[in-house]
Chain A
Amino acid sequence: MAIEVRIPTILRNFTGGAKSVEGSGDTLGVLIADLDERYGGLRERLVDDSGLRRFVNVYLNDEDVRFLGGLEAPVKDGDTVTVLPAVAGGAR
């Protein structure tokens, strides 16, 4: 089973520079845990106590996983997951 996961520049230090890695799992949460086994520390950048981190965007194919159940979103062979840190900031 292979699910492609696209890694943003700022997280490529966890994947040895790779911009795309493969993992498996039947939900996004399981997939992320699977990746963390090979790329230790990656999970902590994506997930906190309440689920997916607020300022990290994760997309399953063409949709934002916030609308698909977050970490419970079902994933399957052939899917592509894309991670993009939110671009945000403010006056303070």
Chain B
Amino acid sequence: MLTLPGELRAAIIAHARADHPDEACGVIAGPAGSDRPQRFIPMTNAERSPTFYRFDSMEQLRVWREMDDAGEEPVVIYHSHTATEAYPSRTDISYASEPEAHYVLVSTRDPDEVEFRSFRIVDGVVTEEKVRDPVDAAPE
């Protein structure tokens, strides 16, 4: 399960809408080992493409170093699909390289309804998980 404050969910969706029709991408960092996403870090999509994303390599180095210095890790790695469903594609799965991260997918294919889903991707296996806002009552 991904526990994600509502304002961070909204920030991801706003980023995806703003970059549509290109794919948007980014990270939410949190204290290492905490599984708590706290710090929203939108990233440049170096591909600037409606069907592919890639973090700019120097921006990734800077952000990864900052997280390391701050005792953080990437808790959420998010990106958007602009014409397909919010589900990890074959390339999403093959490039997933942070086994501890929650992979959030947003689809902006519908201008009125956003799709927002979260997944674990470990050793090529995709498992969907629920997303909850910490202010809501815990599920039974």
Q: Assess whether B77 is interfacial by the CB under 8 Å rule.
A: yes
In chain B, what residue has the closest Cβ to A62? B61
CA distance A57 to B57 in the complex (A): 7
Q: Is the CB of A10 within 8 A of B97?
A: yes
In the complex, how many residue pairs between chain A and chain B have their CB atoms under 8 Å apart?
80
With A9-B99, A86-B95 as known contacts, state yes or no: A91 contacts B61, CB within 8 Å.
no
With A9-B100, A84-B64 as known contacts, state yes or no: A89 contacts B95, CB within 8 Å.
yes
A-B contacts, 13 listed (Cβ < 8 Å): A57-B61, A59-B61, A84-B57, A84-B60, A86-B57, A87-B27, A87-B43, A88-B47, A88-B52, A90-B92, A91-B50, A91-B81, A92-B89
Q: Which residues of B contact A62 (CB under 8 A)?
A: 61
Q: Which residues of A contact B43 (CB under 8 A)?
A: 87
CA distance A88 to B82 in the complex (A): 15
In chain A, what residue has the closest Cβ to B43? A87
CA distance A91 to B90 in the complex (A): 8
Q: Which residues of A contact B49 (CB under 8 A)?
A: 90
Q: Assess whether B91 is interfacial by the CB under 8 Å rule.
A: yes
CA distance A90 to B83 in the complex (A): 11
Q: Assess whether A23 is interfacial by the CB under 8 Å rule.
A: no
Q: Is the CB of A90 within 8 A of B91?
A: yes
